[in-house]
Structure 1
């Protein structure tokens, strides 16, 4: 799908094809405890900050060839087949590492988004449950929003 795509049928088809993995991840993270989610979030944050190493390594490879060009030319003359193989291999490594980087970056961001949303949802539910319990125990007339939450809890 192009980034400029605006046709609803194409967009719906694309997202329908990819929603399975998101649902599986969401259900996986929903089954984790608060402490487990905290640890997973910490690991994902660590991985998110380490992702810059791959492009750094890929972008420094040509600089290494420039610095050590004389030594490289000694073992791999420009007109030899070995030079072509080394150049092709280095290009493939660079392309693969950049592709791998962006795939990992996307997965880490997806996982981090899901974990943070679940943690936020749980904290909001915990806060609303505490507020509802405090209103019941205070003897004061409950707030209209709390009455709606109480009615919605009985429906589920």
Structure 2
């Protein structure tokens, strides 16, 4: 699988759920949105005053899962991955995210250099693209794609 297939899936899903290790050592899960693929990397963003930022600075590892339920739920695609978050001051990426997201545009007053606006990419990515037809207990059918594993 290519990185562009993963980013396309994340775009189609729209909303993903990211798990981090909380500052209290307990798992924390929150909705996030994949922002852009740039320079061979998957980019996300956050605010430096949010707990997610502090958690990722302390422990860079995340798990991410996303799906968008289809009418034919057995064909519903879902993605799951584990990766390491790397913060980088990248003005080009920040501008791209501002153009993509109305929420980010408003939150940071259309200022890509806003001091609270932080971007990060994922590295050491391992995951799989699946559909609900893979659920154990369902009969095997040729029209169900097998899980596609990936590593970047």
* Structure in which a larger fraction of residues adopt strand: 2
- Would you say same fold, with TM above 0.5? no
Higher RCO (C-alpha under 8 Å, 6+ residues apart): 1
TM interval, shorter chain, is under 0.3
TM-score, structure 1 length as denominator? 0.19
* Structure in which a larger fraction of residues adopt helix: 1
Larger Rg: 1
